[in-house]
A and B are shown apart, each in its own frame.
Chain A
Amino acid sequence: MKVIEQEQKAKVRYKINGQQYETEVEPRRLLVHVLRELGFTGVHIGCDTSHCGACTIIMDGKSVKSCTILGVEADGSEILTIEGLAQGEKLHPIQEAFWEKHGLQCGYCTPGMIMQSYWLLKNNPNPSEEEIKEGISGNLCRCTGYQNIIDAIKLAAERMKGQ
């Protein structure tokens, strides 16, 4: 059993976007804060109350809201953030589709939207419009640009079929 006392920092390890990281966190620190401090500022803080999904990441293969997980709780896990999607200069098909279909207005919700779309398409490569809507229902776009986001996910699904 692991015990970490308050204000005492614990060593935690994560594998983020394929690379090992080791850092120290207090028990009360949220994973989203820890990730941002490690430089992954694509993980956004939106509502901070588990509603908006801007902080969505893939943790151990599942999409989760990183503002609703403790840094210590995630110790030892494998994490994928928006920074890990592109292959060098080559954008991920979902990123390209969001760009082409104008799936963003202010762009604040975009990293979370894309990470959630990534999980959605991984689990359902050929989603219907209803399934897309349900799949991103945990992500809010305050610009209300949902129509183009849905179009972008459809286009990404189309392009990823061949891969």
Chain B
Amino acid sequence: MPSYTPVDFDYHSPTSIEETIELLSSKEEPVILAGGQSLMTLLKLRILRPKNVIDIGKIPSLRNVVEEEGELRIGATATHVTIASSPLIGSKCGLLSSSAKTVADVQVRNRGTIGGSVSLADPSANYLPVLAALDATIVVQGPRGTRKISSKDFFIDAYTTELAKDEVVKEVRIKYNKNMGYSFKKVVRREQEYAVVNVAAVVSLDEDGRIREAKVGVGGLSGKPIKIRELEETLVGKTAEAIESAVSSLDFKVRPISDVRATGDFRVYLARIYLKRALKEAYANARGAMV
């Protein structure tokens, strides 16, 4: 029976991040295997033909989710199901939990990891607009030490990141604010499909119900997730009534992706609709939190 099998490779399962980096530097054509939910398909279809596969799934410290110095620190191999169900993440950054809950399907969420998702940098990935909106930091480690890279600099284009060949993503760090309303919305044709467009919005209000701070991210529109600072600034001091016109007149300033899932124009059209819905929902949630 014909079956999809990866090409031959050497398999390594390091037990520490130092061993991983050593392998990355010394082995020919290596790839990192975390949850494998994207990598295995790329291997099976032989889109990737690595000589060495380095499985970081056996490094316990990489799976940790902790709170330190006022930020969430999520280990690279924390799975989507861990992120979706972690009470710590739920209470501190509901936006991230909410985006993790709708990554692909249950079986994929049981294996797939946040580190894998950011390393692959698929433009439609759920986490990307969230990380862009929240100005998350990606911590990477390599032979030259540790680097903390803002998501603005980390994501360069579709499947292209600042991560060097001999580096590995170690952690995702997110600073959060209490009492913020949030909303994550994803446009899909079918439940388990990749998003056409996805949006993340966070809003905090002052005592009078005016927007004190807004954070907005959009994914799937261009090769990398975008944070819309112009919109964030426009909304400060306003109420929910301002959302409609602010989003309608917004210039995304990107060349949208046109592909088999949607044309560029349709993506822009969808992004506007879902931005409005997400911002209104985030505003309503923030209001609810005040009462």
Contacts and interface: CB of A to CB of B under 8 A. Distances in A.
Interface of A: 1-7, 10, 26-30, 33, 45, 48-51, 53, 56, 62-65, 67-70, 72-73, 116, 119-120, 133-135, 137-139
Contact of B40 (A10, A69, A119): A69
A49 B57 contact: no
A130 B7 CA distance: 40
15 contacts: A3-B11, A28-B43, A33-B3, A33-B5, A45-B3, A50-B41, A50-B108, A63-B106, A65-B111, A68-B36, A69-B36, A73-B36, A116-B106, A134-B191, A138-B107
Contacts of A56: 107
B111 A64 contact: yes
Interface in B1-27: 1, 3-15, 19
Interface residues of B, number: 36
A7 B81 contact: no
Contacts of B33: 70, 73
A28 B8 contact: yes
Nearest to A5: B10
A21 B53 CA distance: 25
A33 B55 CA distance: 19
B3 A64 contact: no
B55 to A, nearest CB: 6
A55 B3 CA distance: 13
B37 interface: yes
Given A1-B15, A70-B36, A73-B57, A6 B9 contact: yes
Given A68-B37, A69-B36, A62 B110 contact: yes
A30 B41 contact: no
Contacts of A53: 105, 107
Nearest to A30: B5
B94 to A, nearest CB: 19
Contact of B107 (A1, A29, A65): A65
Nearest to A137: B191
A48 B44 contact: yes
7 closest A-B pairs by CB: A138-B105, A27-B11, A6-B8, A137-B191, A62-B110, A48-B4, A68-B40
Contacts of A138: 104-108, 192
Given A28-B7, A63-B107, A68-B36, 16 more contacts: A1-B15, A2-B13, A28-B8, A28-B43, A45-B3, A63-B110, A65-B107, A65-B108, A67-B40, A69-B40, A70-B33, A72-B13, A73-B13, A116-B106, A135-B106, A137-B106
A116 to B, nearest CB: 7
Contact of A4 (B5, B11, B41): B11
Contacts of B45: 49
A63 B107 CA distance: 5
A81 B5 CA distance: 22
A107 B181 CA distance: 46
Contact of B11 (A30, A67, A69, A72): A72
Contacts of A45: 1, 3
Contacts of B19: 1
Interface string B46-71: 00000001010100000000000000
A68 B41 contact: yes
Given A48-B3, A48-B44, A62-B81, A70 B11 contact: yes
